[in-house]
Each structure stands twice: as C-alpha cells, then as structure tokens.
Amino acid sequence: MAGPLEQLRGVGRVTAERARAFGLASVADLLLHLPARHEDFAEGARPIRDLAIGEDATVRVELDSISVRPTRRRRLRIVQARVHDETGLLVATWFNRDYLARVLSPGDVLLLRGKIRAGAPPEMNVQTQEVIGTGAEGGRASEGLHTTGLVPVYPATEALPSRRIRELVDAAIPLARGLRDPLPVWMRERLTLPSLGEAVHAVHFPRRRPEARLARRRLVVGELVVLQLGLLALMRREAADHVASALRGEGDLERQVRSALTFSLTPEQERALTQVKADIRRTRPMRRLLQGEVGSGKTLVAALAMCTAVEADAQAAILVPTETLAEQHLRSLDALLAPAGISPVLLTGRIQGAERERRLLAIKTGTAQVVVGTQALLSEGVEFANLALVVVDEQHRFGVEQRSALTSRADEGRAHVLYMTATPIPRTMALTAFGDLVVSVIRRRPPGRSPVATEWVREPDRDEAYARIREELRAGRQAYVICPRVEQDTDGRRSAVAEAERLAAGPFAGFSVGLAHGAQSSDDKRQAMLDFAEGRTDLLVATTVVEVGIDVAGATVIVVEDAERFGLAQLHQLRGRVGRGADPGTCMLFGEPANEEGARRLEAMTQVSDGFALAELDLEMRGEGTVLGARQSGATDLRFARLTRDRRELAQARHLARKALDRDPRLTADVHRPLREAVRERFPDIPRLLEA
C-alpha cells in the first residue's frame, strides 16, 4: 500500500507531483488523508418538477445546449446551459467557468447541485457538477461522488483542490482492503470496531453520519494503541534492561535539612516525596515526571531525594537547560543542603581551565556529592564515581526519543531519573507526550506565597499603567517588560531592543533599565540577569529568556507586550516571575487582539489563576501541537486523535496496550506481529524497542 499514486487511474506526473508537495506521496497517504467534514446531499437527485424556489438540490439531467455569455463587468462571464429530465426543463448557470463550455457537450448526462431560482424555466446557480455519462449512458460506480449523499470535503490546496482529492480517493478506495491492520481481532471485538479497511472506506464515503463517526473512532483508537504500546514497552524495557542502585538510608540528612526549614512541607509535597523515595529504594530505575507550578516546591522535593542518595554513598546531579538556571539552582541547593553538610558543585561550559579540572576530579572521585550543571554534565570527559540520581529540570520539551538518549547517557541508564517541569500539563497530554514516565503532581503553591493579580491593559490606559509601575520602582521594587521579539520588524510587534531604548529615554528615564534577549552573548545575557537579580537594575526589558531561570524576590510587576501572541501556558509561566517575595505581584497584559481567540486568551488569564485549568483551556484553544511551546518530535505527533476530544479513546487505548503487553510482552505472537511492526515504525529512533 506504499505504492505511488501513479498506479491509480487518471493520475499522471503533474497530479502526482502536486499530491507529493501536499504530503500525499503514496496510496496509503491518500487513503489516510481524512475529510475535514462531510456535506450532506443525502436526499439524492430530485425531479425538476419537484424543485422549490430557494432550496439547494441535486438533479440528474441531460445537457441540451451550453454557451458563454459576456457581461458588462470585464471580469464576470456567465456560462449557461439548458438541461432537462423526464419531468421538465432547467437553466443551469455558472460564473467564470468558461472551460465548461469546452468540455461539456449536448447529450452529456450530468448531476448538478445548486440553489434554485425563479424563472421560466427555473434556474439553478450550480455549486458543483459531474459528468456521469453520454446520452443514455451513465450510472458508473461512483455516480454522485460530488453531488449526492455525504460528500467528503478535504484539507486541500489551490493546486490540489478538494474535488480532485475526492476523485483520487474514489479511485484508491478499492485498495483500502489491502491496508495492513495493526489492531488484532480481540481488540476490535472488545470495542466493537470495524477493520481498518472498512473504517477507511466509511470515513471517506459513509452512508450515514454515525458510520463516519465510528470509522474515525477506529482510526483514533488504532493510533493511540500503537503510541501507548510504544511508551509502555519503553518503560518495561528500561525496567528489564537496567538495574539501578537501591538508595536507602536512615534519613538523618533529610531530617537535618527539614529541621532548618522555617515551614513544613505541604501534603502534596509530602506525597510527591514519598513517591520518589519509594521509586529510588527499588533496583528498577525511576523514570518519574514531577510537575508543579512555579513556586510549588519541586526543588525542595528533589533536594530531599538527593539527601537519600548521598546517605546511600551515591552521587546526585541536577541537569538544567541554561547557565542562569544552573546558577540559580546552585544557590537554592547550597542553602537547602547546608544543614546536612552537603556542598553542591557547579559545572557549566563557562567553567574552564584549572578550575574545571579541579571540579571534574571532585566529580570523578565522588568528593562532589551533588552536582549542578547544564548539558556539559553529559559531555565527554565527565565521569562520575557513582551517579545514582539525576534530576532534569525544565526539560518538558524533550520528546520520547530524546529522553531515551538522555537516560542512556546517565551511567548507562542505571541512574534513577526525576524530570521536573513548571509547565502544567493536561492529563491527556501527559499520557501521550510523557506516557513513558510515571507522573507526580504538586498543584498548590505553599501557604504564604503572594498572589499575582492579572490585568488586561488596553492602549489608552498605557500611561496610567506606567505611572503605577513607577510607583513600585520608587518603593524599591522591580519590574519586567517582556517583548515577543528581539529586533523591530514590519509586523508591528514590539521588540526588546527598541523598547529598552524607548523606556530608558522616556517613561522610565529616571530609573536603571536593563536588556536581556537570546541574541546576546551568554556573558552579556548572564550579566544583565545578574544585575537585575542583585538589584542594580530597576526595570528589565527582555524576551522570553526570563520564562525560566531567574528568581527575583523584589520583582512585583511584569508587563507582557503583544500578549495575545503568546499561548496561555507561556503567559502563565511569565506571570510566575513575580509575586515570589513578600509583596504581591501584578501581571499587566498589553494587547489589542485582532481575533476572538486572542481576546479569549487574555480574558482567561485575568479570570483563571490555576495553571492546570489554564493548561486544559490552552490545549482546547491551541491544540496539542503548540500547547507546550514547540511541537513534540517523533512519536508524539498525532494524525487522527485530538486530545481535547478523544479522552475516552485514550483511556481505552492505554488499557488495551497494557493487556497486550501482559499477554505477549514482545508482541511476537502471530496475532500481534502487525501491531509490533506498527510500534517499531512509530518509534524508529529506539531501535531495540520490542526486540525479542
């Protein structure tokens, strides 16, 4: 079924090239290109004498004559044809379709679909037509393809319109029975689903709408079963292939850290810590995702788990995406772990020469019990004495294959790995993008955290907002201004560079204004953030480089320019930059949305403070492809399923995948071999997956 489109009747080189440019390179691609909707022409062809003025109808007629009639408007030409059936006459009218006068001939049998207008004889403004024969001929197998029944409407291009795709699918549909069906019969019977071939036929050309819905459900379940099997197989393979150190201790170091805290852990923090400690006490490597909003205490949970690792004479490391975040974690862990006598060591690309060699030696000999670093931790030349626990912070954009590669570098996969993210993830997203991980959630921020008020500020209120920000700065507090781009462009978005110059020379001339963006050198960016963190800068103008990795207790206001251009998840992350100290925070969203969706996002931000509720709303509004800020790679791309719609199917797929692996862990039984091949195709970058 991977055969080229040229094997279909009527498909030449030009059509095949246009289809390939649209991503339809094979017959299978074409058959799995689903309609966006179906237009309901279910009443079929009607006699001319029964037509009513103003209605849309389909008629089966014979062409008597056809001509092109020019009009006074230079760009408008009318094609008119006189047609008849056994019950009467009709005038068919097209606009700017001159070619029809060349391809249609008297005696052709046509199916016409359009709106009926008054006249003698009555007139039809034709929406679509098809030739079904000449003279008394007609009645081909696909008669009514464009004009009767439930007519599929496809995502299309100007070069390859929906009508042409419909014709190609019609030519290919007899080959649908040759599609390899990965779902075994027992799965289909359990959910009363059709075979893949039956589903493909019905999803394109259903007799009734329920038939199309069932067919689409079959495709969704099939896709999700393959995905869930791959994720579960990866988890089980990790457990079978690798043996980690069982990290146990008396808990003395943890008690010393707890005794120095000025607060008690929340019940959610305690539950997450209990789950992590239970994992690391086993010899099966932990693969857990800890998600919680900014300020929810994830780092504290990780630090207490590190105490257990150190007490078991092992090393722990925390891996972060940026040097700024690494330095922030070093400060936090230094303060948290000091009562237990643990001094973290920092390793980043900036540390060079003799100092780097000294730290590498400490890591190699085990003197460095806790290491904080960037990807430099995984580079050649970095050797651990006994790395047993790896914490990966803010790596929520890693796909399944990248996580597999990462864990394989961590002491040959024997380390326990705890992933942390401050981006709230909907449950359906967690089961797909992170389905190879066990998930812990900290939903609430610890008591005592200052609230953050969110306002949508329109342009006429800008000066008043600036006045309020100046009051905060005069009181010794600080503020961020976030812009969507670095340099000015023609799209009208505010840029960080231009905005920093404007604010420093105008509304905030009496204050120190800093600038941080991704195009700066790492030293300049680091210095700008350090100046802000240490209070030498009053106002920091930046791009989203401050989304993670900067923690300034004195910052009480964040302004987001062109806020309608950001997703809810990212706006919520930015909002979390303020209100981190004793003073309450304010998030000002400046924006003039050009559409309803942008307005909905800004309105939602002012009304909803729960990041998990916002994440669900973001998934609904923006789709799973963009909710995390970047499309997940590889296996997490979904072709048929939609997470906002197919929650039930996802749960069913997870259950079926578990059942299949319980019965046949490597899917080597004859009934499961097509499923096995589908999983391996879906996870090509994990070559040993399901290997016997």
pLDDT tens readout for residues 644-676: 788 899 899 999 999 999 999 999 999 999 999
Q: Is the per-residue pLDDT at 402 higher than 60?
A: no
- Single-letter amino acid, residue 438: V
Residue pLDDT, tens place only, 192-222: 999 999 999 999 999 899 999 999 999 999 9
**202 CB contacts (<8 Å, ≥6 apart)?**
194, 211, 212, 214, 215
Nearest residue to 455 (alpha-carbon basis) of 634, 591, 347 = 591
- Please give the Cα distance from 515 to 486 (Å, whole number): 10
CB 202 within 8 A of CB 210: no
- Please give the Cα distance from 167 to 178 (Å, whole number): 19
* Mean pLDDT value of segment 300-316: 95
Q: Is the per-residue pLDDT at 139 higher than 80?
A: no
SS3 state of residue 162: helix
Question: Euclidean distance between the first and final Cα of the chain, in Å?
Answer: 27
Superfamily of the domain at 43-147: Nucleic acid-binding proteins (2.40.50.140)
- Single-letter amino acid, residue 289: L
pLDDT band (50, 70, 90) for residue 448? low
CB 604 within 8 A of CB 568: yes
Nearest residue to 57 (alpha-carbon basis) of 110, 111, 109, 114 = 114
- Please give the Cα distance from 514 to 526 (Å, whole number): 12
DSSP per residue over 494-529, as a string? Answer: -BHHHHHHHHHHTTTTTS-EEEE-TTS-HHHHHHHH
pLDDT, residue 668, reads: 92
The CATH architecture of the domain made up of 452-608 is: 3-Layer(aba) Sandwich (3.40)
In this structure, what token pair is assigned to residue 454? 């969110």
Cα dihedral across residues 579, 585, 590, 594: positive or negative:
positive
* Mean pLDDT value of segment 503-527: 90
Residue pLDDT, tens place only, 346-396: 998 888 889 999 999 999 999 999 999 887 787 778 889 999 998 988 655
- Single-letter amino acid, residue 522: S
Domain 252-442 classified CATH 3.40.50.300? yes
* Mean pLDDT value of segment 227-233: 89
pLDDT, residue 405, reads: 56
CB 627 within 8 A of CB 569: yes
Residue pLDDT, tens place only, 80-118: 999 999 999 999 999 988 888 888 989 988 889 899 999
pLDDT, residue 409, reads: 52
In this structure, what token pair is assigned to residue 98? 């001159």
Each domain of the chain, given as residue ranges in start order, spans: 43-147, 252-442, 452-608
Q: Is 74 exposed, middle or buried (0-12, 13-18, 19+ CB in 10 A)?
A: exposed
DSSP per residue over 334-399, as a string? Answer: HHHHGGGT---EEE-TT--HHHHHHHHHHHHHT---EEEESGGGGSTT---SSEEEEEEES-TT--
* Two domains, one topology: 252-442 and 452-608: yes
Q: Is the per-residue pLDDT at 412 higher than 70?
A: no
Residue pLDDT, tens place only, 267-279: 999 999 999 999 9
DSSP per residue over 474-488, as a string? Answer: HTT-EEEEE-SBSS-
Residue pLDDT, tens place only, 147-177: 778 889 999 888 898 989 999 999 999 999 8
Indicate whether this model's pTM tops 0.85: no
Q: Is the per-residue pLDDT at 636 higher than 60?
A: no
Q: What percent of the chain is modeled with pLDDT above 90? A: 46
